[in-house]
């Protein structure tokens, strides 16, 4: 297989590249040159936000498939898909469950209502509309049968450039009392970027099309399982102080951002991020590794890069201020 990855040097894109090389595929990447490409690829330079930014692709080369991870202005996806129409067999766009209209009902499938206001030719607006616009752009050029829409949920694993699992690993590695948001047995959903990559490559190889909720099954782990794994792999003596949602929320602490991964179970947010129906993805071959493997490999990668992974410039680094953590742990009922 001949694969073109638009991006290919960060997190999901890098995972796709490594998985494709592992299969013996011929891989070309197009990126802005901010990060060193993976050895073994053909590397092209281009900035999709600049005039003529796709010129390196305008040479008639053909590919069996394209994987596009773009998450800003949909216009960039539209221009790439139009240029590659007729020169690539299938277009896989890594989208997001954010394309579903809010609030998302528990157990929502690929048939759930989508956000409004998205357009394939739009400039950058809001993340949900941008991702949906990217989907529309892919389908516009490759059709419903020639495009696969990878609607990812929470993505973790090595190379993470959002900082959610790295924050927990580093916090627990420091030891001491740790604010652990409860309940301990709260089920969470995520997908390892490497499992997403393998599924995406299999999808284009097999000619799959249409949208897929690409997340691990609900209950792939729990908050307790995730944080205990962090403690084991770091060898930390951290004291996980399991705390009910009420004192956490009363302290003004933001779920998901200040306490990554966690959202209260009785909230719309929980249904939206940890209760997606992934039947279609599992039936089409999604295989998810154990959560502890994701945690251990992410810690190994973090230590290899000096303990602090990159955080995307368009994202705020997640995590909780130590003073806020201490205040909650000092409240009666906090950290029991």
The encoded tokens of residue 138 equal 């892919």
Closest CA to 132 of 146, 151, 147, 148: 151
pLDDT at res. 255: 97
The region, left, alpha or beta by phi > 0 then psi within -120 to 50, assigned to residue 319 is left
DSSP 204-226: HHHT--EEEEESPPTTSEEHHHH
Question: Please, are residues 259 and 320 in contact by the beta-carbon 8 Å criterion?
Answer: yes
| Residue 74 lies in domain | 2-152
By DSSP bridging, strand 65-68 and strand 155-156 are unpaired
- What is the distance of C-alpha 209 from the center of its chain? 20
pLDDT at res. 290: 97
Q: How far apart are the first and last CA of the chain?
A: 55
> 291-304 and 223-234 helices cross at what angle (nearest 10)?
40
Residues 182 and 101 in one domain: no
Q: Does the N-terminal peptide bond of residue 103 adopt cis geometry, omega within 30 degrees of 0?
A: yes
Q: Does the N-terminal peptide bond of residue 183 adopt cis geometry, omega within 30 degrees of 0?
A: yes
Residues 27 and 133 in one domain: yes
In a domain, 201, yes or no: no
Residues 259 and 144 in one domain: no
CATH number at residue 119: 3.40.50.720
- 120: DSSP letter: T
Residues 105 and 237 in one domain: no
Residues 297 and 323 in one domain: yes
Helices marked H in the chain: 11-22, 74-84, 127-146, 164-174, 193-206, 223-234, 245-250, 268-274, 279-283, 291-304, 322-329
In a domain, 179, yes or no: yes
pLDDT at res. 310: 80
- The total domain count for the chain is 2
Residues 142 and 176 in one domain: no
Question: Please, are residues 58 and 44 in contact by the beta-carbon 8 Å criterion?
Answer: no
pLDDT at res. 336: 61
Residues 75 and 106 in one domain: yes
> 164-174 and 223-234 helices cross at what angle (nearest 10)?
60
In a domain, 222, yes or no: yes
**pLDDT average per 10 residues of sequence, the chain (336 residues):** 96 98 98 91 95 95 98 97 97 98 97 97 96 98 98 98 96 97 97 98 98 95 98 98 96 97 96 98 98 98 89 83 93 63
Question: Please, are residues 74 and 121 in contact by the beta-carbon 8 Å criterion?
Answer: yes
Residues 78 and 32 in one domain: yes
DSSP 43-59: EEE--TTSTTTTGGGTT
Residues 174 and 102 in one domain: no
**Residue 47 backbone dihedrals phi, psi, to 5 degrees:** -110, 110
pLDDT at res. 58: 93
Neighbour-count burial for 46-79, b at 16+ CB within 10 Å, e otherwise: bebeeeebbeebeeeeebebbbbbbbbbbbbbbb
């Amino acid at each position: 297989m001949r694969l073109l990855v638009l991006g290919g040097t960060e997190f999901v894109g890098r995972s796709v590249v490594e998985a494709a090389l592992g299969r013996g595929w011929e891989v070309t990447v197009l990126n802005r040159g901010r990060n060193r490409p993976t050895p073994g690829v053909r590397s092209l330079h281009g900035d999709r936000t600049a005039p003529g930014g796709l010129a390196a692709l305008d040479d008639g080369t053909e590919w069996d498939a394209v994987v596009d991870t773009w998450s800003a202005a949909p216009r960039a996806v539209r221009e790439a898909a139009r240029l590659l129409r007729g020169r690539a067999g299938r277009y896989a766009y890594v989208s997001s469950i954010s394309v579903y209209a809010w609030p998302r009902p528990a157990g929502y499938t690929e048939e759930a209502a989508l956000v409004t206001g998205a357009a394939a030719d739009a400039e950058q607006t809001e993340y949900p509309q941008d991702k949906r616009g990217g989907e529309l752009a892919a389908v516009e050029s490759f059709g419903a049968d020639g495009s696969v829409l990878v609607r990812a949920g929470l993505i973790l694993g090595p190379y993470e450039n959002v900082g959610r699992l790295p924050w927990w690993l580093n916090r627990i590695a420091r030891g001491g009392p740790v604010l652990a948001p409860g309940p301990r047995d709260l089920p969470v959903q995520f997908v390892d970027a490497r499992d997403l990559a393998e599924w995406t490559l299999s999808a284009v190889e097999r000619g799959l099309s249409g949208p897929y909720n690409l997340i691990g099954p609900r209950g792939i782990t729990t908050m307790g399982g995730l944080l205990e794994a962090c403690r084991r792999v770091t060898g930390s003596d951290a004291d996980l102080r399991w705390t009910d949602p009420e004192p956490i929320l009363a302290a003004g602490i933001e779920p998901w951002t200040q306490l990554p991964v966690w959202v209260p179970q009785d909230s719309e947010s929980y249904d939206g991020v940890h209760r997606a129906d992934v039947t279609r993805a599992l039936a089409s071959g999604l295989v998810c590794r154990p959560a502890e493997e994701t945690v251990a490999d992410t810690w190994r990668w973090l230590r290899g890069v000096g303990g602090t992974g990159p955080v995307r410039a368009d994202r705020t680094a997640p995590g909780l201020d130590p003073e806020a953590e201490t205040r909650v742990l000092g409240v009666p009922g906090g950290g029991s």
